[in-house]
């Protein structure tokens, strides 16, 4: 559900350019990698926004910007109506507490020399107001229990846990500060199929229990569909289509979304000979030198002259949701 | 319905009248480690015929790659050991051949594409040189001819502007292009069997679709037998003729792909299929196989899946299920496969 009045996160024209430099001593900037290039969206309380797109399109950079781990080149991130860039002191600290992250790789994202108790309780070091020192052990054990781990394992080290269990440790840590927003960057991609479903169920249970809002980044489109209320499709630093999950999956209007959906192998061999498949040619262009006009035009089978001249804006088009294509046309590629 | 606990022949090898190109028969592979003996492969049997695609599906650690490495003869022995089993290429057991005779087959008549193309390619040589090496070493070609062949192959795997790019280094190519170059090398000597070990796992879906299409086309052109190792149920459904589901170093179900997806005959394959998020399940809890994959150093008794199996009965804890033959082309290593098929177990 996407309750409308309840915006917890507002992102406006967010841009992150990484400078491309040449020379070792006298660094000259010769360009910029446009990792995120004008992204806007809202996130509502208790809602899940899925973010999909090919490698390098800017998903993780977007996540880091929202976490204030990277400073935006321009643009605005508001949490509960307050601009992050303008907040200071206690207010900024509270804002940062309110948005937490679960990372992709349960094998490298946990410090191998710290016990599970220290890992999950580490956020309390910075935000001691959430859990006074004497209370921390109990709090951590509570968190372990919430994510389905044995609280008695508080003194174990990460290597003593399986991948799925390590992901639970990461989730427990993300929950420690009782945030309202959690950004999940590929939280199940490194896990075995049989374990993915366990972690997905956990994330959904926690969302209901604590009314969390998720930004759920993943490349597995069926996983994204299962968990998301709305989905944003990114290409080369921009959102090209954004809408409710069935709008994106059943009524996609942007050619890139259509190609992406049609490329996903369907776990059902029936009708595989006749299934429509749009095979895109080539690779995405470099984000340092994106094509003029529509960034997708170098791989788009519908491109016209106007696509090179005018950038298509992300606006409500045929299909009733946001799409950034001059020639948006609804086309159900997966036949759902 | 024959149950034959002593012979673990795979029902997939029962197709009559056609000799398989490659037959893995009751293969066992173990590793000696400091913690003990890891039994990575415990009696795997499968076959591939010309023009056929076999998908080997399983979670990480289930023994898919070790089986492939045994076929390719690239296991380090020790620590690896093959205490039992045969790997027959056109009827000849390769494990009994001399090194020289074996090297005529492996890499030439059976070739392999690895998951991680970047680390499989040598960063200090151009891609053209590396593809050309196949022809210089195995076919005794001159540098010039080998280079020409390399360009031809790069064109065959659809690398744009192959002639201009033949002298580029691996890092100058994208992940998908590097995988194409790996494929070019693997098909250079016109192998009869191609083993692709998770060839698209590290790639985006759009690039994955390109690579899978390429593999299918190459297979059609040359009638190769293809062994596709993957953990992706979607990829299997897309390309495979038949499927071998592995768990804890064994094949738990082997069958034509349509049969398994329509009605799995083993609780593990059923669990995997049930845990795929489906559109009509939105907002509901996903089915999840409970528990964790087994520890190969401390394998569960009886059926290795029993600690996670919702259908377990008393004898599952003690009796190792053989691969029961369900039909000429289908087998399941579950004592209760009939009930699983009929949906009467629970
Ligand atoms: N610190 C950095 N300096 C320079 N370029 C960067 C930096 N971080 C990311 N980039 C570039 O920005 C672009 C977007 O990267 P990002 O990590 O956000 O992609 P992604 O969508 O998360 O991809 P993936 O699916 O592979 O995780 C890429 O071209 C990347 O190389
Ligand atoms: N060199 C080795 N030494 C010890 N154990 C190994 C070695 N290579 C593989 N294994 C073990 O064998 C099992 C099967 O591995 P593998 O075939 O690579 O699995 P997968 O099905 O993921 O391809 C795993 O438990 C793995 O840890
Ligand atoms: S704007 Fe033009 S190039 Fe871009 S997606 Fe639409 S048709 Fe294709
Ligand atoms: S043999 Fe028993 S434990 Fe094993 S899969 Fe069948 S029912 Fe489950
Ligand atoms: Mg990323
Ligand atoms: Mg493997």
* Residue B25 to residue B16: CA distance in whole angstroms: 17
Q: B154: helix, coil or strand? A: helix
Instruction: Report which ligand 1 atom has the smallest distance to the Cα of A63.
Output: 18
Residue A323's beta-bridge partner residues? Answer: A241, A315
Give the global pTM: 0.85
- So what's the pLDDT on residue A3? 43
Which ligand minimizes its atom distance to the CA of A311? 3
Closest-CA residue of chain B to A165: B292
Task: Cite the beta strand spans of chain A per DSSP E.
Answer: 7-22, 28-44, 48-52, 74-79, 82-83, 99-102, 181-185, 213-217, 230-235, 238-244, 315-316, 322-323
- So what's the pLDDT on residue B231? 86
Whether ligand 2 lies within 6 angstroms of the CB of B208 is answered as: no
Tell me the Ramachandran region of residue B140: left when phi exceeds 0, alpha when psi lies from -120 to 50, beta otherwise.
left
What mean pLDDT, rounded, does chain B reach?
A: 86
Q: How far is CA B31 from the centre of its chain?
A: 20
The CATH number linked to B93 is 3.40.50.300
Quick one: B18 exposed, middle or buried, by C-beta within 10 A (0-12, 13-18, 19+)?
A: exposed
Residue B16 lies in a domain: yes
Whether ligand 4 lies within 6 angstroms of the CB of B339 is answered as: no
Which range, A128-137, A266-275, B218-227, B291-300, has the best average confidence (pLDDT)?
B218-227
Residue B111 lies in a domain: no
CA–centroid distance, B311 to ligand 4, in Å, is: 6
> B34 lies in which domain range?
1-52+59-99+247-346
For residue B229, name the pLDDT band (cuts at 50, 70, 90).
very high
**B314-320: average pLDDT:** 95
**Strands of A238-244's sheet, edge to edge?**
A99-102, A181-185, A213-217, A48-52, A230-235, A238-244, A322-323, A315-316
CB contact under 8 A, B175 and A270: no
By DSSP bridging, strand B193-197 and strand B225-230 are parallel
- So what's the pLDDT on residue B66? 92
- So what's the pLDDT on residue A66? 94
Residue B137 lies in a domain: no
* Residue B5 to residue A221: CA distance in whole angstroms: 42
Residue B278 lies in a domain: yes
User: How many distinct structural domains can be found in chain B?
Assistant: 1
Whether ligand 3 lies within 6 angstroms of the CB of A325 is answered as: yes
- So what's the pLDDT on residue B335? 95
- So what's the pLDDT on residue A153? 87
- So what's the pLDDT on residue A5? 59
CB contact under 8 A, A194 and B289: yes
pLDDT of B257 strictly over 90: yes
Phi, psi (degrees; rounded to nearest 5) at B229: -95, 130
Query: A54 near A217, Cβ under 8 Å?
Result: no
CA dihedral for B324, B257, A53, B277, sign (positive or negative): negative
- So what's the pLDDT on residue A336? 52
- So what's the pLDDT on residue B19? 83
Q: B97: helix, coil or strand? A: coil
For residue B117, name the pLDDT band (cuts at 50, 70, 90).
low
Q: A214: helix, coil or strand? A: strand
Per-residue pLDDT of chain A (336 residues; tens, 9 = 90+): 444 458 999 999 999 999 887 766 777 777 888 999 999 999 999 999 999 998 889 998 999 999 988 999 999 999 999 998 888 888 888 888 899 998 876 667 788 889 999 999 998 888 888 887 888 888 899 889 888 888 888 998 888 887 778 888 988 898 888 899 999 998 887 777 778 888 888 889 889 999 999 999 988 888 899 999 999 999 999 999 999 999 999 999 999 999 999 888 888 888 788 888 888 877 788 888 899 999 999 999 999 999 999 999 999 999 899 999 999 999 888 765
Smallest CA-to-CA distance from A203 within A177, A221, A185, A230 is with A185
For residue B243, name the pLDDT band (cuts at 50, 70, 90).
very high
Residue B132 lies in a domain: no
Compare CB distances from A222 to B235, B272, B277 and report the shortest one's residue. Answer: B277
Cα distances (Å, whole numbers) of residue B319 to B38, B310, B323, B324, B333:
21, 17, 12, 13, 11
* Residue B110 to residue B92: CA distance in whole angstroms: 13
Query: A106 near A139, Cβ under 8 Å?
Result: no
- So what's the pLDDT on residue B13? 45
Residue B29's beta-bridge partner residues? Answer: B41
Task: Give contacts of B247 with chain A, Cβ < 8 Å.
Answer: none
pLDDT of B7 strictly over 60: no
Task: Give contacts of A260 with chain B, Cβ < 8 Å.
Answer: 205-206
pLDDT of B6 strictly over 70: no
- So what's the pLDDT on residue B346? 61
Phi, psi (degrees; rounded to nearest 5) at B307: -65, -20
Give per-residue pLDDT as tens, B72-109.
888 888 899 999 999 999 988 988 888 888 888 888 89
Task: Give contacts of A162 with chain B, Cβ < 8 Å.
Answer: 292-293
* Residue B329 to residue B346: CA distance in whole angstroms: 26
* Residue A167 to residue A196: CA distance in whole angstroms: 10
**B129-157: average pLDDT:** 90
**B305-327: average pLDDT:** 93
Residue B150 lies in a domain: no
Residue B41 lies in a domain: yes
Residue B211 lies in a domain: no
* Residue A16 to residue A138: CA distance in whole angstroms: 40
* Residue B205 to residue B58: CA distance in whole angstroms: 20
Task: Cite the beta strand spans of B49-79 per DSSP E.
Answer: 53-57
Least Cα separation, residue A250 to chain B (angstroms): 11
For residue B156, name the pLDDT band (cuts at 50, 70, 90).
confident
Alpha helices, DSSP H, located in A176-320: 193-210, 221-227, 245-250, 255-263, 305-309
Whether ligand 4 lies within 6 angstroms of the CB of B312 is answered as: yes
Query: A62 near A49, Cβ under 8 Å?
Result: no
pLDDT of B27 strictly over 90: yes
Closest-CA residue of chain A to B308: A194
Cα distances (Å, whole numbers) of residue A136 to A123, A165, A166, A180, A267:
11, 21, 20, 20, 45
- So what's the pLDDT on residue B8? 33
Smallest CA-to-CA distance from B121 within B175, B162, B67, B190 is with B175
């Amino acid at each position: 559900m996407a309750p409308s009045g309840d915006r917890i996160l507002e992102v406006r024209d967010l841009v992150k350019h990484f400078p491309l430099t040449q020379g070792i001593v006298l660094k000259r900037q010769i360009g910029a990698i446009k990792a995120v290039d004008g992204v806007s969206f809202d996130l509502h309380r208790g809602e899940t926004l899925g973010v999909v797109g090919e490698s390098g399109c800017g998903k993780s950079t977007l996540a880091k910007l929202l976490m204030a781990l990277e400073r935006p080149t321009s643009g605005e991130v508001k949490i509960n109506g307050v601009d992050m860039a303008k907040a200071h002191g206690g207010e900024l600290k509270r804002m940062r507490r309110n948005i937490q992250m679960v990372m992709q790789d349960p094998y490298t994202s946990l410090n191998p020399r710290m016990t599970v108790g220290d890992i999950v309780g580490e956020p309390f070091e910075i935000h001691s107001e959430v859990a006074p020192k004497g209370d921390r052990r109990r709090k951590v054990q509570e968190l372990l229990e919430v994510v389905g781990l044995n609280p008695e394992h508080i003194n174990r080290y990460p290597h003593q846990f399986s991948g799925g269990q390590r992901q639970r440790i990461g989730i427990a840590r993300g929950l420690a500060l009782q945030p309202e927003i959690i950004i999940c960057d590929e939280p199940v991609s490194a896990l075995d199929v049989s374990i993915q479903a366990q972690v997905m169920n956990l994330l959904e249970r926690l969302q209901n229990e604590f009314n969390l809002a998720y930004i759920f980044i993943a490349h597995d489109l069926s996983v994204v569909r299962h968990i998301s209320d709305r989905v944003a499709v990114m290409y080369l630093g921009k959102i090209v289509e954004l809408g409710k999950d069935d709008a994106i999956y059943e009524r996609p209007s942007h050619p890139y979304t259509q190609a992406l959906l049609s490329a996903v192998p369907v776990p059902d061999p029936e009708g595989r000979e006749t299934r429509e498949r749009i095979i895109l040619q080539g690779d995405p262009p470099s984000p340092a030198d994106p094509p003029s006009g529509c960034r997708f035009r170098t791989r788009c089978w519908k491109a016209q002259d106007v696509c090179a001249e005018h950038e298509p804006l992300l606006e409500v088009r045929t299909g009733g949701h946001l799409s950034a294509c001059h020639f948006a046309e609804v086309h159900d590629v997966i036949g759902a | 319905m024959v149950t034959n606990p002593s012979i673990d022949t795979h029902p997939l090898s029962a197709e009559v009248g056609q000799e398989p190109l490659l037959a893995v028969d009751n293969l066992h592979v173990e590793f000696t480690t400091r913690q003990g003996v890891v039994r990575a492969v415990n009696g795997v049997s499968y076959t591939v015929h010309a023009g056929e695609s076999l998908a080997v599906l399983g979670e990480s650690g289930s023994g898919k790659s070790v089986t492939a490495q045994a076929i390719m003869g690239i296991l380090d022995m020790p620590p690896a050991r093959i205490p039992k089993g045969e790997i027959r290429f056109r009827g000849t057991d390769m494990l009994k051949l001399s090194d020289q005779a074996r090297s005529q087959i492996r890499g030439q008549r059976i070739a392999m594409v690895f998951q991680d193309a970047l680390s499989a390619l040598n960063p200090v040589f151009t891609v053209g040189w590396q593809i050309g090496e196949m022809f210089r070493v195995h076919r005794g070609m001159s540098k010039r001819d080998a280079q020409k062949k390399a360009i031809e192959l790069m064109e065959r795997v659809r690398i744009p502007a192959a002639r201009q790019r033949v002298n580029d280094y691996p890092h100058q190519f994208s992940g998908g292009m590097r995988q194409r170059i790996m494929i070019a090398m693997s098909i250079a000597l016109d192998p009869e069997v191609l083993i692709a070990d998770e060839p698209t796992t590290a790639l985006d879906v759009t690039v994955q679709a390109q690579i899978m299409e390429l593999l299918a086309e190459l297979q059609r052109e040359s009638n190769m037998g293809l062994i596709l190792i993957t953990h992706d149920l979607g990829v299997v459904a897309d390309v495979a003729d038949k499927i071998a589901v592995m768990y804890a170093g064994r094949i738990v179900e082997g069958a034509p792909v349509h049969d398994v997806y329509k009605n799995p005959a083993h609780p593990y394959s059923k669990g995997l299929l049930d845990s795929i998020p489906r559109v009509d399940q939105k907002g509901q809890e996903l089915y999840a196989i409970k528990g964790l994959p087994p520890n190969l150093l401390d394998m569960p008794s009886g059926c290795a899946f029993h600690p996670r199996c919702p259908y377990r009965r008393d004898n599952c804890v003690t009796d190792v299920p053989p691969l029961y033959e369900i039909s000429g082309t289908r087998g399941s290593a579950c004592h209760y496969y009939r009930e699983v098929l009929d949906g009467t177990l629970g």
